[in-house]
Amino acid sequence: MWRSSGAQQSWSQKFPAAGQHEIESWVGGEVVPLIDKIGGRPLLIGKSLGTNAAAIAAERSLPAVWLTPLLDLPWVADALDRATAPFLLVGGTADKRWDGDVARRLTPHTLEVEGADHGMYVPGPLTESITVLSQVVVAVEEFLDAIGWPG
């Protein structure tokens, strides 16, 4: 539960369910005003639900980093397929929403972590998941260097 103007609302009243196509419009309504306010050619970075902004990135030719993208949602995969700007996809083999074959088909910029779940946690000591976080940071840095961002 979260509070808004003193009234209590449930999370589901804030936006559509993640698996419903209407979520793409909701995310767009949140993201577009921010992009317009920033101006220029920003880099989009989204985690999971945020990958519903892939259509905006495709329409505006914006580079992006998509962490644990929802590749199982057809509209997300279709938007990524339409993208002309480079993007990085990061996911784990234990994430039901991740499809490494689809990711590699969509972009040469991928980081697939063996055994990582949707939160990018891997089995074993927490230090192993911290190592994964380090891999993600390096992958993002290498991606940004490869595309020359900021340009």
Residue 74 is predicted with a pLDDT of 94
CB 70 within 8 A of CB 47: no
Q: 7-9 and 2-4: which strand pairing?
A: antiparallel
The most distant pair of C-alpha atoms in the chain lies apart, rounded to whole Å, by: 47
| The predicted structure's pLDDT at residue 25 | 81
pLDDT in tens, 80-129: 999 999 999 999 999 999 999 999 999 999 999 999 999 999 999 999 99
What is the CATH number assigned to the segment(s) 17-147?
3.40.50.1820
Judge if the upstream peptide bond of residue 86 is cis by omega within 30 degrees of 0: no
3-state helix, strand, coil in the chain (%, to 5): 50, 15, 35
pLDDT, residue 100, reads: 97
Task: For the chain, give every domain's residue range.
Answer: 17-147
Task: Tell me the per-residue pLDDT of 27-58, one tens digit each, with 9 for 90 and over.
Answer: 888 899 999 999 888 999 999 999 999 999 99
d(CA 102, CA 93): 12
1-10, 21-30, 59-68: least confidently modelled range: 1-10
Query: pLDDT of 51-78, one tens digit each?
Result: 999 999 999 999 999 999 999 999 999 9
The pLDDT score that the predictor gives to residue 14 is 66
Return the pLDDT at 2: 34
